[in-house]
Amino acid sequence: MKTVTILGPSQSGKSTLAKALAGLETGTFRSLSLFGEAAVTMFRYLDEDWAVLECPGGAEGLSLAGSALAGSDAAVLCVSADVDAAVLAAPYLRLLEAANLPTLIFVNKLDVATDRISDVVAALQAYSAHGIVLREVPIRENGEITGVVDLISERAWAFHDGARSSLMELPKDMRAREQEARADLLEHLADFDDALLEELIEDQQVMSAEIYEVSTKVLQHHDLIPTFLGAAAKGNGLTRLMKSLRHEVPGIEVLSERLGTSPVAVGIFADQVKHLGKTVLIRPVGAKISAGAQVAGGSIGSLVDIDAKTPVSQLAPGALALTVKTDHLSLRAPVYGASGPMEAPVWVAAHAPKHRCLISPVNDRDDARLSLALAKLAEIDPGLSVEQDSQSGKVILATQDQLHQRRVVSKLDEVFGVSVTLEAIPPALFETITRRVETQHRHRKQSGGAGQFADVVIEIEPLPRGDGFVFAETVKGGAVPRNYMSAVEAGVCDALAEGPNGWPVVDIKVTLKDGKHHAVDSSDHAFRTAAKGAVREAMAEAKPIVLQPIHRISIHVPSPFSGGLVPLVTGLKGQVLGFEAEGDVAGWDVFSALLPAASEAELFLALGSASRGTAWYETELDHYEEAHGAVATMVPTS
């Protein structure tokens, strides 16, 4: 069985293409949708078994693509016949470049195309380090595309709605264009084949069989990206694409070499199904596997077909099946050895999710169930992460975008029976002081029995940004016995947990300079209470200010959108540091800026619009600086 992943931007017709290919020969196929609207479709074509993996468009779909590509023999990038939409394919071309996977492009929706196909290919080429070459050119009549010419066989095919294309005579006015396009294709192929290059130099006639052979070698080595044309919704251009997949795509035997390891199997998609539990779509690589086999460090449970019912006794290399009752398999490490997960290529991992919010159960009694459910979802969804907010202690749900978030919330309700509420994450603010203050505080309490007494003299002073907290003591003569020093420091920490503005206090040095004790009434509790009171009194006089975290943002963005990020970042009170070409990644820039952490949620939403959903970013804490305006007047929420 050969397995091909279809991916591409939203609204490019991926689902239509998958179903059209699956129905080419018999019209019958089997299909299964999994979490995240991923899908697998199985069918037969010319007595061979095929599987098409479909990754939905958008950020969530892109996060699922890594494991799908890791288990595939080739990929088909489905794009619209629209020059302006070519930039939407940039993230997918980037991923496919990194995966070094044999890739074909299918320019879809020719029935509504208005742009020149050569211009569409040129626009796509801007985002690919590999050459993109046309294998077909369109035939136009009265401004509409009515067929294509195969540049290798030089046969012309007429399109028919809902029916297979038919052979036609090549229009006379197309001959010059066809010869020009064919020459371009042969020149590109000749760059990777010396024999073909020699024939072209000597102006010899090149046979179609030889060109097909070179095309197969070039595709399997991912040297060039061939481009096919059609309209999947109308059944046009599918046979030529399918024949290329059949004859030119390599089999399962080269998958290990591409991954750089020798796995037992690859986990592709997964789901959590009510009353069934975790199911993982797996593909054996080196040898057959069956129920009970050791995969990823544990025994797999039963194997079933994608109908989730029919038992599979044994799974051959390259075939696909669902595992049931195999909870140890995870898509966070989808390349499986016998004894445990194996290291996967870097490109398999999803981008870190940046759409973040606090999540809590509607009913407090569901708190433990929510934690368990989120942990299970994180195992089947590599684009999801769960962490804890350092200040509130609540759970943070991080997803790829709003649609992804809604899908997770729906899954929690439908499968795990947990209803949740979502709320914005409060800003992680701190405060510090701006001047040195010394104060004395005495704690005395007498209420019958043993009393409480402690007297401390404490000095507080600001430290440079990022120095945190320092405690020191300069007490002389045993005014405060050594055994109470730890209690004094604990009291200082108690006071710094919440400053005058309600935020944790940082970048401060507290020195115990003097004090008094009582032989009977002094205790750890008394000195801890006295130190806490002294620091609080001093803080009120030390001109405290609120600090906000400033993040260094690195935005990976297609070059046409880089300039538009300048007003976006400055409008969010950020500082633009500049942008430059991103290494050897064709058509991409890295845009660097400093941005208040409180503006990051706005950046996420604005960036989606400014880059048409193509950009993503990485963040790291750079420094803290004084907050002004609305941020400075915020108060912590309970």
pLDDT digits 0-9 by tens, 158-195: 999 988 899 999 999 899 999 999 999 999 999 999 99
Residues 6+ apart with CB under 8 A from 173: none
pLDDT at position 414 is 93
Assigned token pair, 353: 């999710």
Quick one: pLDDT at residue 428? 84
Look at residue 460 in the predicted model and tell me its pLDDT. 97
pTM value surpassing 0.85: yes
pLDDT bracket for residue 636 (50, 70, 90): confident
* Domain boundaries, given as residue ranges, for the chain: 2-254, 262-348, 355-423, 434-543, 549-632
Two domains, one topology: 355-423 and 549-632: yes
Q: What is the rounded distance in angstroms from the CA atom of residue 429 to the CA atom of residue 499?
A: 11
For residue 335, report the phi and psi dihedrals to the nearest 5 degrees. -100, 115
Is 67 in contact with 266 (CB distance < 8 Å)? yes
Question: Using CA atoms, how far apart are residues 134 and 106, in angstroms rounded to an integer?
Answer: 10
Return the pLDDT at 449.
Answer: 67
Q: Give the whole-number percent of the chain exceeding pLDDT 70.
A: 99
Q: Is the pLDDT of residue 637 over 80?
A: no
pLDDT at 275 over 80: no
Local confidence band at 466 (pLDDT 50, 70, 90 cut-offs): confident
DSSP characters over 132-191: EEESEEEEEETTEEEEEEETTT--EEEEETTEEEEEEPPPGGGHHHHHHHHHHHHHHHHT
| Percentage with pLDDT > 90 across the chain | 84
Judged on CB neighbours under 10 Å (0-12, 13-18, 19+), 633 is: exposed
Q: What is the CB neighbour count within 10 angstroms for residue 584?
A: 8
Starting at the edge strand that comes first in sequence, how are the strands of the sheet with 469-473 ordered?
Answer: 437-445, 452-462, 508-516, 469-473
* Range scoring the smallest mean pLDDT among 45-49, 229-233, 450-454: 450-454
In angstroms, rounded to a whole number, what is the distance separating the alpha carbons of residues 296 and 277? 18
Q: What letter represents residue 303's amino acid?
A: L
Spell out the long-range contacts of 534-537 with Cβ–Cβ below 8 A and sequence spacing 24 or more.
534/439, 534/440, 534/441, 534/456, 534/457, 534/458, 534/495, 535/458, 535/460, 535/491, 535/492, 535/495, 535/496, 535/510, 536/495, 537/439, 537/441
Is pLDDT at 499 greater than 90 in this prediction? yes
> Is 614 in contact with 591 (CB distance < 8 Å)?
no
Average pLDDT on 61-82 reads 96
Query: Which pLDDT score, from 0 to 100, does residue 638 have?
Result: 59
Which H helix or E strand runs over 409? Answer: helix 402-414
Q: Which residues contact 529 (CB under 8 A, 6 or more apart)?
A: 443, 452, 454, 491
Query: What is the fold, at CATH topology level, of the domain defined by 2-254?
Result: Rossmann fold (3.40.50)
Domain 355-423 fold: Alpha-Beta Plaits (3.30.70)
Tell me which fold the domain 434-543 belongs to.
Answer: Ribosomal Protein S5; domain 2 (3.30.230)
What is the predicted pLDDT for the residue at 448? 65
Tokens of 429: 């603010």
Tell me phi and psi for residue 28, to 5 degrees: -115, 145
Q: How far apart are CA 570 and CA 383, in angstroms?
A: 29
Assigned architecture for domain 262-348: Beta Barrel (2.40)
Specify the CATH number for 549-632; select among 3.40.50.2000, 3.30.70.240, 3.10.100.10, 3.30.70.260: 3.30.70.240
As a whole number, the mean pLDDT across the chain is: 93
- Cα 389 to Cα 59, 249, 427, 493, 631: the distances in Å are 24, 47, 10, 20, 19
pLDDT digits (tens, 9 = 90+) for 325-346: 889 999 999 999 999 999 999 9
